[in-house]
A and B are shown apart, each in its own frame.
Chain A
């Protein structure tokens, strides 16, 4: 058990799942790996279970909406993984088509994903397949739309409460 550099982490991932990592962005502020959506569940399991990786803590799930990408409108779901034993971290991205953003749920891998995925569904509108209770968490149950989509228009009123913009 030791702290691994990003290159070593990618090597471990590629060793077990050679096809999973589609892209490595190592020149940014944080090194990021992009994982194919259909492989994400397997990668997650590997990240948690492989003792060299040992990513036992899922810190954060972020959904980002990119409606005007050159390669087509996309939604990125970003997972920040952390290892409490090995003290290294990893940022994993999954790129989903904006028209039908679907990715496997990882709540079986990290229980905390339950609420994080609900939040991402609520605010960005990503469908996490296999989630046992994918309902809104922050907004009201009958809220319409996903507020953090870039083309979101706030409603004029909600149950008689007017949307007043000062």
Chain B
């Protein structure tokens, strides 16, 4: 590959993007070019939009393998659709992988420091590359399928589990405009697709032809099906209060510039988060968090893989990359439930400070104007996007940290206690919260308690 050509290409592309962004403004730019391929005007990944626009504008240079096929056969019409899709998938997949690598490392470090040890220290600075090394090790391991296992089910089960988790990332935003696809029934989708993961776990446990795995399977089925109910009720409550299934809408109700029922604009602050919408939401957030621990099989509800009881639970018989997929799925699910909690209760990408939230949104606050003056509109817009991503991820990571904290502190509950917690504690509590929230909304006409009576439209 000719490096000079490549750098020229990059330079040209960069310049072109910059010109285009300056011309249209970053928000419009992103909206314009990311919504085309998913058709509904629902927003999309900014980067995917940028790439799509690039492909539309430029022909693929000659030195790229198969450039003639791409330019000719696929052409400007089909390639961007396919390409945008692939890029979106790639980005979500990439995020999950990188997150999992980081999370496994931090789980090790967190547990180590909670247990008076250092954790991985050898590979890379402070063992940063330990997970990468482990991943390589798992890749090179022999893929063993037990002789008496149900081979087909055994082989596809990890993929089903992983796909089940990955699919739930589709309606999940990473920041303002950064979303694979803003589905109208986003929350419903998240809840529904969650069942695919259960199916995968059951397949894995059953197909292993191992009694311990079978135990784990039964436990998984009971646990995950039960805990979907409090989670579902938490979803329903938020949906009722916010009036939308879309995760983006739910977030937009919690910060930024809020429009009330009379069409008047209000500044959104941290107390406009759903968490503080009414007193019931606080309890609901806690029930959701506990239920979500069970949903992603984390301690103290790690019964499906209780290593002291069931050896290793449903993935006892798995080796190598198939095992790694379960691992990836577990960590992806950790992030997922945390991110959903952030969307539902913790104001999504809104930092809770109005001036910070409005950077790059086109609103005229003192901070935004000052930044405009210093950085110029484009950079301010980029900064705004980055801050929102950062805020979102930070909130989610804090929740993930709490999940780890809980895991390394608490013992495991027993099966009957786990069911007791679900059916006799979490379910009634969340039902009370559902009814309470409904009554609250009725009584106040939708005004939030801590939000000083703003009735959000």
Do chains A and B directly touch (beta carbons under 8 Å) in the complex?
no
